[in-house]
């Protein structure tokens, strides 16, 4: 086959996209960031973008170096943003040292990003129990089977652990003590809407000492 028939891959430096789907005007945006977040998340859900509930969680280790991973938001309200995981994972160990994190949602098809920063706390045992028991059985057994973030010799270890967990815990496994929820309590939000000519809209909400939110426009 003649290689000349194949087009040359586009250079990363040459990739361009013009963002023209929407705008974010501070006069029209909600005064409370949680209301603005609900509007955008509801829109992402209604638009059926891929995994609208996926968010990046950034934490900092004892060495001061950041790390990120993707998790799924499970609930949110005026108290904060909730997700569930293994407390003994890398992120769990880092949060035990530095109980602060940053979250980011990126809804590519809508040309929108939401960033949230704040302190992190564990949710109550009752909340963790309720969510754990709502999960499919395989997922509940998986929480027992996976020593998250630890080195294992092969996938066979996970399979064997899952089989062992099924025998040991049966059809109604209890929540592992090392598994549960975290809640990020927001202190700062940022909403980013892509705009033409890289003149993007960025709105920041910062929590003030009196408990009110200060809404400000940021340069892109």
Binding site, annotated residues: 16-19, 69-74, 84-85, 90-91, 131, 135, 139, 148-149, 192, 198-200, 202
To the query of whether residue 198 is one of the catalytic residues in this protein, the response is yes
Q: Of the candidates 10, 4, 40, 7, which has an alpha carbon nearest to the alpha carbon of residue 22?
A: 40
Binding site, annotated residues for substrate: 16-19, 74, 131, 135, 139, 198-200
Q: Label residue 33 exposed, middle or buried (CB < 10 Å: 0-12, 13-18, 19+).
A: buried
List, in sequence order, every residue forming a beta bridge with 75; answer none if it has no partner: 82
Q: Of the candidates 82, 103, 73, which has an alpha carbon nearest to the alpha carbon of residue 191?
A: 103
Binding site, annotated residues for FMN: 69-74, 84-85, 90-91, 148-149, 192, 202
Q: Of the candidates 187, 217, 189, which has an alpha carbon nearest to the alpha carbon of residue 202?
A: 217
Catalytic residue among 48, 119, 198, 206: 198
Eight-class DSSP state of 48? T
- Is-contact 124 75, C-beta < 8 A? no
Whole-number Å distance between alpha carbons of 67 and 69: 7
Question: Which residues are known catalytic residues?
Answer: 198
């Amino acid at each position: 086959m003649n290689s000349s028939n194949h087009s040359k891959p586009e250079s990363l430096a040459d990739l361009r996209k013009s963002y023209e789907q929407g705008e974010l005007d501070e006069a029209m945006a909600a005064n409370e960031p949680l209301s603005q977040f609900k509007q955008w998340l509801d829109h992402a859900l209604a638009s059926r973008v891929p995994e609208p509930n996926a968010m990046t969680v950034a934490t900092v280790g004892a060495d001061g170096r950041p790390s990120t991973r993707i998790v799924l938001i499970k609930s949110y309200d005026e108290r904060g943003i909730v997700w569930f995981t293994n407390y003994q994972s890398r992120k769990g160990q880092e949060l035990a040292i530095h109980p602060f994190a940053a979250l980011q949602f990126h809804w590519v098809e809508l040309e929108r990003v939401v960033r949230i920063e704040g302190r992190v706390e564990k949710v109550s045992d009752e909340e963790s129990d309720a969510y754990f028991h709502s999960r499919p059985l395989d997922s509940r057994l998986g929480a027992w089977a996976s020593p998250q973030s630890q080195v294992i010799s092969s996938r066979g270890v996970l399979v064997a652990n899952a089989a062992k967990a099924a025998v040991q815990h049966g059809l109604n496994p209890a929540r592992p003590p090392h598994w549960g929820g975290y809640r990020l309590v927001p202190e700062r939000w940022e909403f980013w809407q892509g705009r033409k000519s890289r003149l993007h809209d960025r709105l920041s909400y910062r929590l003030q000492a009196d408990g009110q939110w200060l809404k400000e426009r940021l340069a892109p």
